[in-house]
């Protein structure tokens, strides 16, 4: 099948199979997304990040843990150390590259835990109403009332420092807003005719929630998650900075800033370079989120 | 006397599948009369009304040879001048009063605002004029209604208030876009009668946009029938039932008739030729 | 035996000070194979009766019998939903925006416990006069009339005896309305259906129904045959005013 016919097949108004219908709707979403330059820019950065993380051993010029005290605190542009070295003489570029693995790891885990928990709580609470709604929403309120970082700190203090515990702590503080969004969406969807119609087929609450309400809530959650991702990266970096996240010598970006802060006046790049990396990735997620909102929001593309 | 002259009006919207032409070369004139525009959804009837007031937002494109009101081409006017035209010269009543009235403003304030925008008078005079206007649309106890909020009103009341609000600056032309479709049949009649009386008394021109053929036949003087963005037929409202175009006939026959019971209704057989039949070429 | 028998039906929404009595002391009887109309203006409680029958309006008292079996308050079972189905007013709101026609009908057939889903879906599409090429389309790729055909196909999937029609054509253009009304007429003959149809449009009701009830403020003012209506033999003042407003 040549390019043009594949395109026609995908854009056909009369799909002939389930697979074609699904692919066609994906393709149309992609066309929509592609026309948004900023979002494509964000996606580009993230794809680049994933590639870097995946091929870290091939790309990194040095071992990220190899210390070389004779070469410590070399400035940017030094021969062999493009982005300089830190206080123990480790190559900053290599650490940055390996650090992207940790960042992605944190981001993926939080993105899997928090919205899913929020979706479950929000849709169940919104669809069932009554007591279930009251109890679930008050629990959500309690979590919302804690300052995020403080609650995360408390969790990490109780569970011990480490990336997994940091992820757990961030997820525990991140889910309530998703529950709120999912519940608000569910309340409007619940009273619609198409939900009434499927109730009249004899479908139970479980089926209605998972097959009819989730697909409509997920898009707004995805948008919200991508927009929140920057905050999550920053929270992870913040925990790392406070010494409660990733532990040395792990090249986590927040921990790298923390390590560099002692020399920030004389050797600014040690803290700045990982800071710039955090900034770039956060920005990329925000741009992606904006683009996804335009594509996924069912209210946005009425015309 | 001609109040409004529309010549070769086109409204286009760019889409991924190419340019969508909602209105394709519509021309008509409006005098001191009640002109009905009928058509089904997607026929471009509402777009025609909105295009006259230049209410179509980008990316929509409006083009015409001219839309002339009092010797001025509305398409050449700057937006500030257009704002004076809207309300003062041409007003518009929309389908659902629920969405046209500001829910957090008292009704009185909204009507007075409509009056004060175009008239430099004191507040107390605006109040008296507003109360008179509410009386003119047959609202009992207008003083109480002035102090009420829109949600306290029924649909019929709301639509009468909208008409009052649109007529208080004393425009020359009223565009009514499905003004009674959201109302119950018994209320519909009252609202139409009120609108009819006011339009007559003030010597205004009325453009009445509707999907309801019988209503338009009953209420208007002249009817334009639109199909696929074009006017396929113009006829006197009284003679609508003698209409010649197969589309108009098909529409009339597809309605269930009270006096003629039958098992199956006639189904409109669409002809691709109707879409391009009479009409002009697009502007170069 | 009546197909639908309703007596002393009261339906209310809300509670305490916000309590609204949407339907008051309504009695109706619809014979098997009959098409019965409920006419009234907005807020007259006509749609609420349908919602009480289907269980979508949970607060009701009185007696509703379907083919001689009294309905219990609370959830209806699947057996009930195979017998009684409903077509909603707005075809733009009654189809799930992310489900294809195939998914909608497939799920309905699955829930009804029917085998041979593939053949049945094509059969249903044929029944409601939709070309098979529409099978894998999403609602936004369909026109209003096509969507309403899908909604009717969904209602027919479980092979019901009773169709509750809630203003099935009021959101559609007149030419499409004619097509849908003709389809409903044919389906009634082919599938021996009983219709209970709600509309504000008197000509539509008189075209579709054998008998009708005029409703106002939650109460049935009078029940009469369409022939009597055509002969202008309505007794109640309100029915007459409704009649006059509908005959232009």
pLDDT digits 0-9 by tens, B85-103 = 888 889 888 877 777 788 8
Check CB contact under 8 Å for A201 and C112: yes
For C165-204, the pLDDT digits (tens) are: 999 998 888 888 999 999 999 999 999 999 999 998 888 9
- Provide the shortest C-alpha distance from residue A112 to chain C (in Å): 23
**B264 and C CB contact within 8 Å:** yes
DSSP characters over A146-164: S-HHHHHHHHHHHH-SSHH
Calpha distance A47→A94 (Å, rounded): 19
In chain B, what are the domain boundaries? 4-89+174-275, 98-170
User: What ipTM does this complex have?
Assistant: 0.88
Do residues A136 and A125 make contact, with C-beta atoms less than 8 angstroms apart?
A: yes
- Provide the shortest C-alpha distance from residue A44 to chain C (in Å): 28
Q: Which chains sit next to A, with 3 or more Cβ pairs under 8 A?
A: C
For B109-139, the pLDDT digits (tens) are: 988 988 888 888 888 888 988 998 888 888 8
Per-residue confidence band for B278, with pLDDT thresholds at 50, 70 and 90: low
Edge-to-edge strand list for the sheet holding C60-66: C20-30, C4-13, C60-66, C69-70
Q: Which residue of A has its CA nearest to C133?
A: A14
For C29-51, the pLDDT digits (tens) are: 999 999 999 998 887 889 999 99
Burial class (CB in 10 A: 0-12, 13-18, 19+), C230: middle
Q: What is the pTM of this model?
A: 0.84
- Provide the shortest C-alpha distance from residue B64 to chain C (in Å): 28
Q: C55: left (phi > 0), else alpha (psi -120 to 50), else beta?
A: left
Do residues B115 and B130 make contact, with C-beta atoms less than 8 angstroms apart?
A: yes
Phi, psi angles (nearest 5°) of residue B230: -125, 160
Phi, psi angles (nearest 5°) of residue A231: -60, -35
Give A202's contacts in chain C (Cβ within 8 Å). Answer: 76-78, 80-82, 111-112
**CA-to-CA dists, residue C31 to C156, C159, C179, angstroms:** 20, 18, 26
The two counts, helices (H) then strands (E), for chain B are 11, 11
The answer to whether domain B4-89+174-275 has CATH 3.40.50.300 is yes
User: Which residues of C have a CB under 8 Å from any CB of B?
Assistant: 41-42, 144, 173-179, 181-182, 185, 200, 202-204, 206-208, 226, 230, 241-242, 245-248
Check CB contact under 8 Å for C107 and A17: no
Tally of domains within chain C: 1
- From the CB of residue A210, how many other CB atoms can be counted at a distance below 10 Å? 12
**CA-to-CA dists, residue B164 to B49, B169, B204, angstroms:** 19, 9, 14
Give B255's contacts in chain C (Cβ within 8 Å). Answer: 174, 178, 203
Return the residue matching tokens 């020359």: B172
- The answer on pLDDT for C125 being more than 90 is yes
- Provide the shortest C-alpha distance from residue B260 to chain C (in Å): 9
**If contacts are CB pairs under 8 Å, which of residues 264-303 in chain A contact chain C?**
298
Do residues C208 and C226 make contact, with C-beta atoms less than 8 angstroms apart?
A: no
Peptide linkage before B59 cis (omega within 30 of 0): yes
Peptide linkage before A199 cis (omega within 30 of 0): no
Q: What mean pLDDT do residues B274-281 have?
A: 57
With vertex at residue A220, the alpha carbon angle to CA A216 and CA A226, rounded to the nearest 5 degrees, is: 140
Structure tokens at C102: 């195939």
Return the residue matching tokens 């369909």: C142
Q: Which residue pairs from B146-152 have beta carbons closer than 8 angstroms and sit at least 24 positions apart in sequence?
A: B146/B106, B146/B107, B146/B108, B146/B111, B147/B106, B147/B107, B147/B108, B148/B106, B148/B107, B149/B103, B149/B104, B149/B105, B149/B106, B149/B107, B150/B97, B150/B98, B150/B101, B150/B102, B150/B103, B150/B105, B150/B107, B151/B103
Structure tokens at B163: 């008409």
- The answer on pLDDT for B232 being more than 80 is yes
Q: What is the pLDDT of residue A3?
A: 65
Size of interface B-C (CB pairs under 8 A): 75
Calpha distance A76→B119 (Å, rounded): 70
Q: What is the pLDDT of residue C248?
A: 57
Find the CATH number of the domain harbouring C45: 3.40.50.300
Q: Which ranges of chain C does DSSP label H, i.e. alpha helix?
A: 46-54, 78-83, 101-111, 117-127, 144-156, 174-191, 202-208, 226-230, 237-246
Q: What is the CA radius of gyration of chain A?
A: 23
- From the CB of residue B278, how many other CB atoms can be counted at a distance below 10 Å? 11
Return the residue matching tokens 């800033």: A257
**A21 and C CB contact within 8 Å:** yes
Q: Which residues contact A88 (CB under 8 A, 6 or more apart)?
A: A67, A68, A69, A72
Q: What is the pLDDT of residue A25?
A: 79
Structure tokens at C239: 């029915």
Do residues A15 and A28 make contact, with C-beta atoms less than 8 angstroms apart?
A: no
Q: Which chains sit next to B, with 3 or more Cβ pairs under 8 A?
A: C
Pairing of strands B18-30, B4-15: antiparallel
Nearest by CB: B254 against C178, C226, C245 = C178
**C151 and A CB contact within 8 Å:** yes
Calpha distance A276→B144 (Å, rounded): 64
Q: C126: left (phi > 0), else alpha (psi -120 to 50), else beta?
A: alpha
Give, for all 303 residues of chain A, the pLDDT tens digit: 456 678 777 777 667 777 888 888 788 888 888 888 888 999 999 999 999 999 888 888 888 888 888 878 888 877 777 888 888 888 889 999 998 998 888 888 988 899 999 999 999 999 998 899 999 999 999 988 888 778 878 888 888 878 888 888 888 888 999 999 999 999 999 989 999 999 998 888 999 999 999 988 888 888 888 888 878 887 888 887 787 777 778 888 888 888 888 888 888 888 888 889 988 998 998 888 888 877 776 544 433
Do residues C4 and C65 make contact, with C-beta atoms less than 8 angstroms apart?
A: yes
Strand ranges inside B103-214, DSSP E: 173-177, 205-210
Calpha distance B39→B226 (Å, rounded): 5
Do residues C67 and C74 make contact, with C-beta atoms less than 8 angstroms apart?
A: no
Q: What is the CA radius of gyration of chain B?
A: 20
CA dihedral sign, ordered C178, C247, B199, B156: negative
Q: What is the pLDDT of residue B142?
A: 87
Q: Which residue of B has its CA nearest to C210?
A: B261
Do residues B265 and C182 make contact, with C-beta atoms less than 8 angstroms apart?
A: yes
Calpha distance B34→A88 (Å, rounded): 88
For C90-122, the pLDDT digits (tens) are: 888 899 988 989 999 999 999 988 888 999 999
Q: Which residue of C has its CA nearest to A12?
A: C137
- The answer on pLDDT for C26 being more than 90 is yes
Check CB contact under 8 Å for C42 and B184: yes
Structure tokens at C70: 């009294």
**C58 and A CB contact within 8 Å:** no
Q: What is the pLDDT of residue B237?
A: 84
Calpha distance B172→B169 (Å, rounded): 9
Give C210's contacts in chain B (Cβ within 8 Å). Answer: none
Nearest by CB: B185 against C175, C185, C245 = C245
**CA-to-CA dists, residue B162 to B23, B93, B119, B271, angstroms:** 27, 7, 19, 39
- Provide the shortest C-alpha distance from residue C26 to chain A (in Å): 23
Do residues C4 and C42 make contact, with C-beta atoms less than 8 angstroms apart?
A: no
Give B40's contacts in chain C (Cβ within 8 Å). Answer: 173-176
**C75 and A CB contact within 8 Å:** no
Pairing of strands B66-69, B4-15: antiparallel
Check CB contact under 8 Å for A200 and C85: yes
- Residue B137 is classified by DSSP as T
- The answer on pLDDT for B277 being more than 60 is no
> Domain residues for C211?
4-246
pLDDT, chain C, mean? 89
**B189 and C CB contact within 8 Å:** yes
Give C242's contacts in chain B (Cβ within 8 Å). Answer: 185-186
Q: Which residues contact A10 (CB under 8 A, 6 or more apart)?
A: A20, A23, A24, A27, A28
Check CB contact under 8 Å for C246 and B185: yes
Check CB contact under 8 Å for C245 and B215: no
Check CB contact under 8 Å for C97 and A298: yes
- From the CB of residue B159, how many other CB atoms can be counted at a distance below 10 Å? 31
Q: Which residues contact B36 (CB under 8 A, 6 or more apart)?
A: B208, B209, B210, B216, B217, B219, B220, B222, B223, B224, B237
Most A CBs within 10 Å, among C87, C98, C134, C144, to test the A interface: C98
Q: Which residues contact C168 (CB under 8 A, 6 or more apart)?
A: C87, C88, C89, C148, C152, C180, C184, C197
Check CB contact under 8 Å for A197 and C94: yes
Calpha distance C186→A100 (Å, rounded): 66
Burial class (CB in 10 A: 0-12, 13-18, 19+), A234: middle
Q: What is the pLDDT of residue A235?
A: 83
Calpha distance A3→A5 (Å, rounded): 6
Calpha distance C85→C164 (Å, rounded): 6
Which secondary structure element, helix H or strand E, spans residue A290, and what is its range? helix A269-296
């Amino acid at each position: 099948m040549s390019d043009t016919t594949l395109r026609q097949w995908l854009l056909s108004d009369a799909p002939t199979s389930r697979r074609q219908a699904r692919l066609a709707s994906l393709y149309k979403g992609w066309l929509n997304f592609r026309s948004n330059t900023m979002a494509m820019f964000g996606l580009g950065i993230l794809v680049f990040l994933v590639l870097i993380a995946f091929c870290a051993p091939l790309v990194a010029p040095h071992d990220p843990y190899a210390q070389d005290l004779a070469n410590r605190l070399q400035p940017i542009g030094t021969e062999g150390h493009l982005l300089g070295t830190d206080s123990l003489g480790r190559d900053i570029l290599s650490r940055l590259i390996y650090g992207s693995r940790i960042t992605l790891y944190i981001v993926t885990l939080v993105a899997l835990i928090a919205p899913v928990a929020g979706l479950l709580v929000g849709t169940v609470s919104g669809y069932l109403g009554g007591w279930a709604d009251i109890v679930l929403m008050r629990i959500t309120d309690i979590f919302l009332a804690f300052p995020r970082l403080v609650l995360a700190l408390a969790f990490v203090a109780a569970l011990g420092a480490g990336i997994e515990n940091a992820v757990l702590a961030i997820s525990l503080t991140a889910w309530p807003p998703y529950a709120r969004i999912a519940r608000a969406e569910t309340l409007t969807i619940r009273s619609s005719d198409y939900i009434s119609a499927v109730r009249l087929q004899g479908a139970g609450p479980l089926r209605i929630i998972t097959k009819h309400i989730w697909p409509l809530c997920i898009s707004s959650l995805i948008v919200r998650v991508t927009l929140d991702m920057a905050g999550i990266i920053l929270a992870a970096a913040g925990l790392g900075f406070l010494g409660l996240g990733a532990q040395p010598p792990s090249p986590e970006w927040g921990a790298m800033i923390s390590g560099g802060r002692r020399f920030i006046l004389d050797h600014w790049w040690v803290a700045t370079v990982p800071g710039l990396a955090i900034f770039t990735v956060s920005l990329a997620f925000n741009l992606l989120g904006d683009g996804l909102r335009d594509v996924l929001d069912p209210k946005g593309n009425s015309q | 006397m001609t109040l409004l002259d529309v010549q070769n009006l086109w409204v286009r919207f760019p889409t991924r599948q190419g340019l969508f032409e909602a209105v394709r070369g519509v021309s008509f004139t409006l005098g001191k009369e009640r002109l009905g525009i009928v058509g089904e959804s997607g026929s471009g009837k509402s777009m025609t009304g909105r295009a006259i007031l230049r209410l179509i937002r980008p990316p929509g494109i409006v083009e015409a040879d001219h839309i002339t009101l009092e010797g001025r081409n509305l398409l050449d006017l700057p937006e500030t001048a257009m704002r004076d035209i809207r309300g003062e010269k041409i007003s518009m009543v929309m389908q659902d009063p629920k969405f046209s009235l500001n829910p957090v403003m008292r009704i009185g304030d909204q009507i007075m605002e409509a009056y004060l925008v175009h008239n430099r008078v004191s507040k107390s005079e605006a109040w008296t004029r507003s109360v008179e206007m509410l009386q003119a649309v047959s609202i009992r106890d207008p003083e109480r209604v002035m102090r009420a909020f829109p949600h306290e009103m029924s649909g019929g009341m709301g639509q009468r208030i909208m008409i009052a609000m649109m007529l208080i600056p004393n425009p020359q032309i009223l565009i009514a876009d499905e003004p009674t479709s959201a109302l119950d049949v018994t209320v519909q009649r009252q609202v139409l009668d009120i609108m009819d009386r006011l339009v007559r008394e003030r010597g205004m021109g009325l453009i009445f946009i509707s999907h309801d053929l019988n209503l338009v036949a009953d209420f208007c003087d002249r009817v334009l029938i639109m199909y696929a963005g074009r006017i396929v037929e113009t006829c006197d409202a009284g003679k609508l039932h003698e209409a010649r175009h197969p589309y108009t006939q098909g529409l009339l026959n597809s309605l269930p008739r009270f006096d003629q019971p039958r098992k199956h209704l006639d189904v409109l057989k669409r002809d691709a030729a109707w879409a391009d039949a009479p009409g002009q070429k697009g502007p170069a | 035996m009546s197909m639908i028998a309703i007596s002393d039906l009261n339906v209310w929404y809300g509670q305490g000070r916000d309590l609204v009595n949407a339907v008051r002391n309504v009695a109706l009887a619809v014979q098997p194979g009959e098409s019965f109309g409920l006419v009234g203006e907005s807020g007259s409680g006509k749609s609420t009766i349908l919602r009480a029958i289907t269980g979508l309006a949970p607060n009701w008292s009185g007696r509703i019998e379907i083919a001689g079996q009294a309905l219990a308050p609370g959830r209806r079972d699947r057996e009930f939903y195979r017998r009684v189905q409903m077509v909603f007013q707005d075809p733009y709101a009654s189809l799930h925006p992310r489900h294809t026609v195939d998914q909608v009908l497939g799920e309905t057939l699955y829930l009804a416990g029917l085998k041979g889903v593939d053949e049945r879906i094509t059969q249903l599409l044929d029944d409601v006069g939709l070309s098979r090429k529409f099978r894998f389309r999403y609602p936004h790729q369909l026109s209003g009339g096509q969507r309403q055909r899908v909604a009717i196909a969904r209602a027919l999937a479980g092979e019901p005896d009773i169709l509750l029609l809630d203003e099935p054509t009021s959101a559609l253009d007149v030419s499409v309305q004619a097509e849908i009304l003709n389809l409903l007429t044919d389906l009634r003959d082919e599938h021996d259906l009983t219709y209970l149809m709600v509309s504000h449009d008197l000509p539509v009701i008189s075209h579709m129904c054998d008998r009708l009830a005029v409703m106002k403020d939650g109460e049935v003012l009078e029940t009469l045959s369409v022939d009597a209506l055509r002969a202008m033999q309505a007794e109640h003042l309100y029915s007459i005013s409704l009649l006059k407003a509908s005959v232009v």
